Amino acid sequence: DIQMTQSPSSLSASVGDRVTITCRASQSISSYLNWYQQKPGKAPKLLIYAASSLQSGVPSRFSASGSGTDFTLTISSLQPEDFATYYCQQSYSNPWTFGQGTKVEIK
């Protein structure tokens, strides 16, 4: 199975900050990498698919890049509604696996 490792596991940031989350795969997954946002008690929401494609309706302050084994999600200017947990997920091979999550908290 492909292991996905996110860093950091949590971070504290202020509104307006630029935030970067990284995700590393245990083997190359090309660009089969997706990012999700999850708020407490809610279902995850797709933000980014295929490593860098913004899902319809997602604000442009979210961007992502990477290929192979190393990927990043960037929030250019953190907004109050962005405080949540973020997960990366690979769809290169079964079983599709998720990172452990990065919790973005208010500083």
Partner 1 sequence: EVQLVESGGGLVQPGGSLRLSCAASGFTFSRHWMSWVRQAPGKGLEWVANVNQDESEKYSVDSVKGRFTVSRDNAKNSLFLQMNSLRAEDTAVYYCASHENYAFDFWGQGTLVTVSS
Q: Strand, helix or coil at 81?
A: helix
Candidates 19-27, 39-47, 60-68, 70-78: pick the segment binding partner 1 (CB under 8 A).
39-47
C-alpha 36/C-alpha 42 separation (Å) is 12
- Minimum CB separation of residue 39 from partner 1 in Å reads 12
Task: Decide: is 37 part of the binding site for partner 1 (CB under 8 A).
Answer: no
Q: Output the CA torsion 45→83→30→7 (10° steps).
A: -140
Distance in angstroms (rounded) separating the CA atoms of residues 60 and 49: 14
Stretch touching partner 1 by CB under 8 A, among 10-18, 61-69, 70-78, 98-106: 98-106
Decide if residue 94 touches partner 1 (CB under 8 A): yes
**Residues in contact with partner 1, shown as a per-residue x/- string from 64 to 93 under the rule CB under 8 A:** -----------------------x-x-x--
Q: Are 75 and 81 in contact (CB under 8 A)?
A: no
